[in-house]
Amino acid sequence: MSLLQMNDLQRHYQTPAGTVKALDGINLEIQEGERVILLGPSGSGKTTLLNCLSALDSPTNGMYMFQGTEVPRSHSEKMTSFRRENIGYVFQFFNLLQDLTVLENIHLIQELAGKKDPVRAKELLKLVGLEAEINRFPGEISGGQQQRVAIARSIAKRPTLLLGDELTGNLDTETSNKVMEALVHACEQENITAVFVTHDEGLVKYATRVIRIDSGKIISDQKVDSSDEDA
């Protein structure tokens, strides 16, 4: 079942040097439960696409439908509301709040979304393998653990779509793998669709679909079958 659809989506920026076409006619449909990886060189437009997907940024032209409804644009509060209700976001540098414990970081997001559920918060931390760290502060745990907390936080409010921008970019390979495994596990358990931006081809194995972008256009869109994954 289709979760979101983009038709001829464009995002252009005006600069002193002229118009920059960060996204230049993106046509994309993502099904529920897919795990999509966006690959591409620097400046290719993948982060801009992620920003448009999350309604952080408004497209210049084109259509973006989410669960059959047009996503708000150019209205900060409506866009925030859209993110609150539908989107989970994982940052490269985790961005946990240092003054809150691991558990409280998750409570906070639930509270802000009006969905406080302490039992679920603990379950999510168990899901990402951090049940022993719930009362520790982010500064007291490793980077990989912090990113797993960030994943738990991002899905705590039951988003429909989880987005991540270079979410393992700051981690070593072994930790990256652990984080991605936790993520895949969480997405499967929670039935969450995910879209990740990365430079790391090694992460392809965690995706069900790989989209390559260059110069603001999709240059390839491939399904990844389980036999590839196993290989």
Partner 1 sequence: MSTLLNKRLARSLWRTKLRLVAVVLMVFVGVFAGITFGGYAHNLGGMYETMQADDDGGANLADLWIDNRSATWSPGQVDAFCDSLASEFGSNPAALFSLDSCEGRTVTQGTMFHTNGTGGHLINSFWHGIPGDANADRVWMPEGHSIGRTAAAADEIVIDAHVTEALEIELGDTVNISAGNTSASFTVVGTGYHPLHVMMAPEGTLFPPESGQYVVGYLSDTGMARLTGHAVGTSNTIVLDVEGTPSYDLPDTPEYEGEEIDVLKGIVDASLSATELDARVRDRGQNEPVEVMRQDLEGTKRTTVPFTVMIASIASITIVLSLQRLVQSQAKEIAVLRTLGVKRSSLMTGYLVAPLVIGGIGCALGALAGPWGMNGMLDFYQDLVGMPIIVRTIPSSIYLTVIGSTMCVVFLSGAFPAWKASRLDPLEVLSGQNEMRVGSNLLRKLTSWMPTTLGLSIRSSVRKPIRLTMTFIAVGISLMLFGSIQMMSAGLEETMVGGLENDQSWDAQVYIMPDGEQPVFDWAENNSANYEMLIEMPLGSVADADDIERTFTLVGIDSFESGMRAVSLLDGKAPSGNMAVTQVVMEEGSMRFLEWNVGEQQTVHINGAPHDVEIVGTATAELARTMYFLRGDLSEILGVNATSIYLEFPEGVEVDSALGEVSTGVVKRQTLLDGINSLLDQQTQIFQTMMYLGLLFTIVVMFNTMIMNVAERDFELATLRVLGASTRSLGLMLLFESLLIGLIGGIVGVLFAYGGAVGLAASFSSWQFFVPVTIVPSVAWQLMTGVILIAVAMTPFGIWRLRRMDLVEKVKDLSS
Residues making contact with partner 1 (CB under 8 A) = 47, 51, 54, 56-57, 76-77, 80-81, 83-85, 87-89, 91-93, 95, 97-101, 104, 107-109, 111-113, 135, 137-140, 153-154, 157, 165-166, 169
Distance in Å, CB of 165 to partner 1, minimum: 5
Q: Which of 216, 164, 195, 208 is nearest to 41 (CA)?
A: 216
Question: From CA 89, how far away is CA 46, in angstroms rounded?
Answer: 15
138 or 208, CB closer to partner 1?
138
Distance in Å, CB of 56 to partner 1, minimum: 5
51 or 176, CB closer to partner 1?
51
Q: Given CA atoms 81, 162, 168, 105 in this order, what sign does their dihedral have?
A: positive
Distance in Å, CB of 159 to partner 1, minimum: 9
Question: From CA 211, how far away is CA 92, in angstroms rounded?
Answer: 20
Distance in Å, CB of 29 to partner 1, minimum: 24
12 or 84, CB closer to partner 1?
84
Q: Which of 4, 12, 57 is nearest to 165 (CA)?
A: 57
Start-end of H helices in the chain: 46-53, 76-86, 102-112, 118-127, 143-155, 173-190, 226-230
5 or 92, CB closer to partner 1?
92
